[in-house]
Structure formats: structure tokens, C-alpha cells
Amino acid sequence: MKLEVLARLEKEVLLLDGAMGTRLQEAGLGTDTAPEAWNLERPEIIRKIHSDYLAAGSQIVQTNTFGANRLKLSDYGLEKKVNEINKQAVKLAQEVGRDNYIAGSVGPFGKFLTPVGNITFEEAVDIFKEQISALVEAGVDLISLETMSSLKELKAAVVAAKEVTEEVPVITQMTFNQNLRTLSGTTPQVAAVVLDALGADIIGANCSLGPGGLLKIVQELNQVTDKPLIVQPNAGLPKVVDGETVYPETPSEMVTYIEKFIEEGVRIVGGCCGTTPEHIKAFAQQLDGVNPKLSKSIKKFRLASRSQLVELSDQDESLLIGERINPSGREKLTEELKNGKLNITQQEISDQVAAGARVLDINVGGAGIDEVEMMQKVVEKVQNTTQVPVAIDTTDPEVLEAGLKSFAGKALINSVTGEQESLDRVLPVAKKYGASLICLTLDEDGIPSTAKGRLEVAKKIKEEAVEYGIAPENLLIDTLVLTASTKQEEVVETLKAIKLVKEELGLKTVLGVSNVSYGLPSKPLLNRTFLAMALGYGLDAYIVDPLDEDLQQTISAADLLTNRDQNAKNYIADLDPNQKDGTQDKKVKSIVKEDENTSLGRIEEAVLKGQKEDIVALIKDVLEDYSPEKIMNQALIPGIKAVGEKYESGEYFLPQLMAAAESMQEGFKYLKDQLEFDAETSSAGKVLLATVKGDVHDIGKNIVKVVLENHGFEVLDLGKDVPAEEIIAEAKANEVDVIGLSALMTTTMLEMERVVELLAKEELAIKVILGGAVVDQEYANNIGADGYAADAITAVRKIEKLIN
């Protein structure tokens, strides 16, 4: 019955159930009780909810286990009952729906993974495995990983599910904001590409938006994956009417989107917050006799960071992979990596991306270097300061896994060969972590001397990859160029092999270009001439030095002449008309400010790039020349403000914001603690933060706290589940300027109004600003609050205005 569901999705659209949480609240669930606890304490209510949805037409019901992992259950002292709660939930669903499919619901932790939070990837996999194992042992037909806002967390959940079993299909659903990105900046297409490669069986989106918003999401998903899609919209955005939270969209309103969902490849439809059996009944009537539609996706070689997609086809521009993060032959970089430092590496990251690298190759191999630790550090540094994907360049299995675990997106492995030992070692890892591969055309007999010989090795690698479940479009074939100084006759064989691989195998190709010039004079001339020839033969990607200006010109011209650059758009943009010699100054110019080499400019840059490990040393270097106040006002504060501007413009996302904030905190702490710098003299105001009574979610509030402190505010954080009376008492005692309230649940958002009412009763002139997924400006206006902020940077801006 388990794999049967995938077969059914080939020919029909299935109906999922609707909301569980809002139904439990209607049944009297209090904010001090875990919803999952009712599997043990109030089983009759859980059975009734399942029965109502089945009667309405649901073919799949989800267990009441959304937060039944040990992290979430620990908020209620139930962390030792993970197994019991999950198995009981499955049993309750089976008792009323044995002839239907049971999906085991698995939700997020409500906490960040490293480097933003403290949970490691391995810990996340272990926590998810505990819950998923219980669900699978109890007999679920599907595993539903839902309402995820962190791509890295969802990646850990998929890895966990696949480690538990390959026999139970995995549903993956992310939750997106109205800007069509997740909290950490992931787009629907990035999510689909990463999840498809990881082996998710069904991909989609749920919660946060109504059907109109989720229609836009599935339209994006359908462009890049042919996996069955799933959608579970809310019944609109919640509103408070007469003191009660309501979801406004009626069954008749929501059902108008069903046909549009089906057109975009959706094969499972259900409801999330606010949907009822009446909604599901309307959906069932609309789906009667409807057949699924084919996906609109086009297969391409794709990589992805957490927030950016890179595509490669014969119509796309060729792919530049930056080679400069490699200690080989570089004494200073080697020494720095030995000492766990990343100064040079950070500069290489920034300069290569500014110069046009769309992927960064990371190699940290060298004598005395802790490769596992440094691979993790460099991968995280790339993620926190850029949006480009990475290539993990190593032959060490432990280093390879460390890099893949650290990377949230779809990485490139550099590399696998045609040797059976290499295939058996690397391909399972690539499959597990959803990575693409650079495939070297050499085997146990070495590098074939002819193009046909290399084609045969490429064919073997392709066949082995497909056996492991890795799609051919995830392979880049390296036909291996040898140095012209000793293997001159084989250079042309490399070029012929490129053409053969593309024509006979339909695969994309890549070369490490600089090998051709080894041992010869005028290496740059040989490199760029050979690259131009290779591009003429159809080469798709190349590993080169992006800072080589002449090479960049050759690439721009070759892409134009091979019809990869339509209408010469990139070629013209890359040329600076102000320079007579035509060098592309625009591409190689650093992204940092012109004064980056001044002492204060370097501190500001360290904030901007999240260089937490360097900022104290930079401050120490300038203390003889500048006062702590001047360092704060002319370096740290301008840096964090620039970060805020980048966040607001969409250039930075949450990981970059948090990395910058941590750097700012390090600098501020040093000035304050070591030099007795009086922070109060520069305080922008005093803010009290609290998650209201009954709500145990504080991830968003914690982000706001960090960002406020970085903008000079003194913050009093009362934590989560804080009664209104305590909020008022602490606000009075500490003479705060603003109270910031957070709520993530519709049942707890009403506590915000109570705080506002108590403030008015006490006649306190303290401003109140609201935040959280379930509130908006309209709600703030209705309860008499002074403002609403959708994110941390907006909170800073609005609090500044409220105080001033």
C-alpha cells in the first residue's frame, strides 16, 4: 500500500485532509498543552477529527504529530514520550481510516541549525530519525515533512527519512512568505531542485499563504521538477473578529483554485490552517473525475545555494567555477587554514563572486590542515556571505560528507572517476545528499589516450550513476586535458571527447583549464586560447581563475560566438566603454567599498561580511588612532546599517543578517568589556521583548533581539510564554520605551490585546509593536498597538520612529 500511492498519483489526483491544529483549538486545547499530548489524553477527539475529514472525502489523513519530536515536546516535559505519542497517533488514524492512506506528519524544530543556531546537521538528522522511526514502525504509508522554512533543516529531515526507510514515500513541503521566499531566502525553484535531488517523492508548499499565494508557488515548482506536487493552503490569512481568530476564505472561494492547481502539476490537494471538513468536501466534489496534468519542467543541469539557482544548458551562458580557494602552492593561505583562520579565504570568496564566478570550488587539502573542520568553516563562510553554490573538492570521504552536511543547497562534488572503488565510494554519498558530480574520464587503466576511450569511461560512470538513482542531468563530464608540454598530441583528443560526450551521451562537460599550460611559458595565453577552442567544441563549464581579465574577455566573446549569449547582452555589459583597451573592469572590481583598505573601512567590511573571528583584532589595530566611540559610530554602526539595507533590498537574507549581527556583537562586546566603553551613552533606547503567554515559539523574537542590540538598543528579553501582567510590571520597573510582542499561534495572538489593554489601564505611555506569522498591521491597528513589523530590520526602523 505504501508505494502504491505513487502509482496512483500517475493517473489521479488525491485529496488530503485539512487543518488539525485549529480543530483541536476549537475542541478546547489550551495553550499550556502540547497538541500531540491529546493522542494520549483525548484520543476520542483525534479520532473524531480524522473521521470528519474521511467522511468529507479525504483519501489521505495526517497524524497529529506535527510537533512530536523531542525538541518540541521538551517544552511540555514530554521529550521521553516521542515513541509512544507518535505510535499512538498512527494507531488513532488507522482505527478510523484503514482503507485510506496515513501520512505521518513531521514539523520543524522551531530552532535554527548551525551556523545561525546551535543544532548541528547530525543532531537534526538524529532527532528526525527518532520520530520518523516511530511513525514507520507504526505503519504509516507516507512521511509528510511539512511547514519547513529552513532548507537545511528540511534537508536533514529528508536524509533522516531515507536512512529510516526507502519503502515509504516522502512528502516535502516548505512554507513561503508573500515575497515567495522562505525566512532564510529560499525560492520555490531552489527548494524544488534541492529536494528533487535529495530523493523527495512529492514536493510542495503549505501554510503561511492562502490559495492565491500558493498558486504562485506551485507555478514556480512546476518549472524545475517533474515530481508530483502537493499543496495545502490556509483558508486565507487569519483575522480577529469579535475577539476570536477566524480564517476568512470560504469553501466556495477556495475551491475556485483547484483547477488552477491541477494545471500546474498538483496531484495532492489538502488544506492547512483554518480549513475544515466543509472545505475538504468542496475540494472532493471539484476533484471528482479530474486527471493529473504533465509537468512543465525541462531537465537541465542545476545547482543551488540556499537562495540562488544556477542552470546550465546549451542555451545558457557557460559556467565559470572559481578555483582560487585552494592552498596548493600558496604558503600564506596554507598557514592561515592551519590556524583555522579565513581572512584570505574571505577575500577570495568576495573577489571571485564579484568577478563573475557562479560556483566556488573549495579545496582545503594540505599538510597540517584539519580538513574536516576547515571544509565546514569555508562552506559556512560562503553561505553566509554570498549566494553562490559550492563544489566540494576532495578525495577524502569524511571531508566530503562534512562539506555536504554544511551546505544547505545542491552542491557539486569534485570529483568521481571511472574506477570502481571511486564509484562505489562517491556515488552513494552524492545520492544521499542530493549533489551533482564532476566525473573524470579515467579508470583503473589511467586516462585513455583517445576521445573514444574517454567516452567509454563517461558511459560507464553514467550507467553506474543511474543505477544509484542519480539522474544523468546531474553529471558534468571532465574529458581531462593533459599538459601540452608532454602530451601535445592528446590535447585535441580532449576536445573531440567533449563533442562525443555531448552528442552520444547528452551530458554536460567541464574542464580544469590550467593543466594544459603546465611547464610552458605564457601560461595565460595558452589557457585562454585552449578555453576558446574548447568552448567552440561545446564545453559547458570550466574551472578557472575568475580574476584573469583576459580570460574573462575570451569567455564573453566565446559565449557570444557560440550563441550562448543571446543578443550579445553579457558581452556588451562586460565591456567598460570608458576603457579604450576594452578590459572588463566591471567584473573584477571588488564588491566592497572603496575605503575598505582604510582602518575603519576594514572594520565596517568585517561587519558587512560577517567576519566574526577577525573583528576584535581589527579593532585592536586601530585603538591607538581612534576612540571607542569613533570606532562604534564610524565603523560598526555604519556596517550594520549597510547590512540592513542589503536585507531590505533582497541582496541579503537571514543567514547573512545573523552572521553580520554576530560580528557586530563581538566588536561591541570588546569595546564595552575590555575598554570599559560606556554603552549607555550611545543607547538608542530601551526595548522589552516577550513572546506572549501560551506561546512557546521565540525564534523570530530572538532574531529581533540580536538586530536591535546591534543597532544600539538596550534590550530586556523576558523569553517565551510570558503573562501580560509580568510584561507590564517589567516594563514599568525598567522604564522601557517600547514593548515588542511576539506570537506565532492564532490562539495566543489575543494575548497581545490584553497587554495593550493593561497598558492603557495603567496609563503608561509605552509604545507597543507586534510581530509574528499570524499578525499584521490591520490586527495591530484593531487592538490599538503602535506598530507591526514583518521582520527584524523593519522592527528596528519602526522602533526608531516610535522613540524619536
Residue of 182, 185, 38, 236 whose CA lies nearest to 652 = 185
DSSP assignment of 513-550 equals GGGGGTTSS-HHHHHHHHHHHHHHTT--EEEE-TT-HH
Residues 6+ apart with CB under 8 A from 65: 36, 39, 85, 86, 89, 90, 104, 105, 106, 131, 135
- Tell how far CA 679 is from the center of its chain: 35
- The CATH number of 18-51+61-228 is 3.20.20.330
Would you state the pLDDT for residue 682?
Answer: 58
C-beta of residue 572 within 8 angstroms of C-beta of residue 350: no
Residue 21: partners with Cβ closer than 8 Å, 6 or more residues away: 35, 66, 273, 745
Q: Which three cell numbers stand for residue 528?
A: 585562454
Query: Does a cis peptide bond (omega within 30 degrees of 0) precede residue 415?
Result: yes
Beta strands in 709-803 (DSSP E): 713-717, 738-742, 767-771, 787-788
Query: What Rg value do the Cα atoms of the chain yield, rounded?
Result: 28
Residue 63 and residue 90 in contact, taking contact as beta carbons nearer than 8 Å: yes
Q: Domains of the chain: which residue ranges?
A: 18-51+61-228, 600-674, 683-803
C-alpha to C-alpha distance for 150 and 111, rounded to whole angstroms: 10
Residue 734 burial by CB count (10 A; 0-12/13-18/19+): exposed, middle or buried? exposed
Tally of CB atoms within 10 A around 221: 31
What are the E-state strand segments in 537-591? 541-544
Can you name the residues that pair with 543 across neighbouring β-strands?
Answer: 321, 512
Buried b (16+ CB within 10 A) or exposed e, 351-382: bbbbbbbbbbbbbbbbeebebbebbbbbbbbb
Q: What is the pLDDT of residue 386?
A: 94
User: Which SS3 state, helix, strand or coil, does residue 319 take?
Assistant: strand
Cα gap 513→72, rounded to integer Å: 51
442, 267 Cβ separation under 8 angstroms: no
d(CA 673, CA 682): 15
Cell 576594514, residue?
602
Pairing of strands 767-771, 738-742: parallel
Say how far apart CA 199 and CA 161 lie, in whole Å: 10
Sheet holding 170-174, edge to edge: 14-15, 266-269, 229-232, 202-206, 170-174, 142-148, 101-106, 60-62
Indicate the pTM of the whole model: 0.89
Structure-block grid coordinates of residue 231 = 499543496
The pLDDT of residue 121 is 98
Average pLDDT, consecutive stretches of 10 residues, N- to C-terminus, the chain (804 residues): 84 97 93 95 98 98 98 97 99 93 97 91 99 99 98 99 98 96 95 98 95 97 97 90 86 97 97 97 96 90 98 93 97 97 94 97 98 98 95 98 98 98 98 99 98 99 98 98 92 98 98 93 95 97 96 94 90 64 37 56 92 90 88 90 90 88 90 63 85 86 89 93 96 97 87 95 95 90 94 93 92
Report pLDDT for 624.
86
| Whole-angstrom distance, CA of residue 443 vs CA of residue 42 | 62
> DSSP label at 73?
H
Residue tagged 499578525 (cell numbers) = 775
Q: In the numeric block, which cell numbers belong to residue 632?
A: 562604534
Question: How far, in Å, CA of 514 to CA of 525, rounded?
Answer: 11
Q: Residue 692 has what DSSP assignment?
A: B
Q: In sequence order, which ranges of 288-415 are alpha helices (DSSP H)? A: 331-338, 343-354, 371-385, 397-406
∠ Cα 172 177 178 (to 5°) = 130
| Location of C-alpha cell 610552458 | 520
Q: pLDDT tens digit string along 467-504?
A: 999 999 999 999 999 999 898 999 999 999 999 999 99
d(CA 107, CA 127): 12
Distance CA 210, CA 214 (A): 6
Residue 719: CB atoms within 10 A of its CB come to: 12
Distances (CA, A) of 436 to 408, 424, 612, 780: 14, 16, 31, 47
Q: Which residues pair with 172 in a beta bridge?
A: 145, 203
Nearest to 174 by CA among 159, 160, 192, 161: 192
DSSP label at residue 583: -
Q: Sign of torsion, CA 260 265 270 274?
A: negative
Secondary structure of residue 656 in the 3-state scheme: helix
Tell me the residue type at 593.
K
Cβ contact 339:373 at 8 Å: no
For residues 427 and 710, give the distance between their C-alpha atoms in angstroms, rounded to a whole number: 44
CB 332 within 8 A of CB 344: yes
Q: What is the dihedral of CA 5, 7, 8, 10, to 10 degrees?
A: 130
Q: Across 648-735, where does the E strand assignment appear?
A: 685-691, 713-717
Domains 600-674 and 683-803 share a fold: no
* CATH 1.10.600.10 describes domain 600-674: no
Distance CA 109, CA 115 (A): 15
Q: CA neighbours within 13 Å on the CB side: how many for 60? A: 28
Extract the C-alpha cell encoding 66.
506535527
Alpha-carbon distance of 124 to 132, in angstroms, equals 12
Angle at which helix 599-608 crosses helix 615-622, to 10 degrees, equals 160
- Output the nine-digit C-alpha cell for 229: 506536487
From start to end of 121-233, where are the E strands? 142-148, 170-174, 202-206, 229-232
Second CATH level (architecture) for the domain 683-803: 3-Layer(aba) Sandwich (3.40)
> Would you say 18 and 53 are in contact if contact means Cβ atoms under 8 Å apart?
yes
DSSP code string of 139-167: T-SEEEEEEE--HHHHHHHHHHHHHH-SS
**Grid cell digits, residue 207:** 501554510
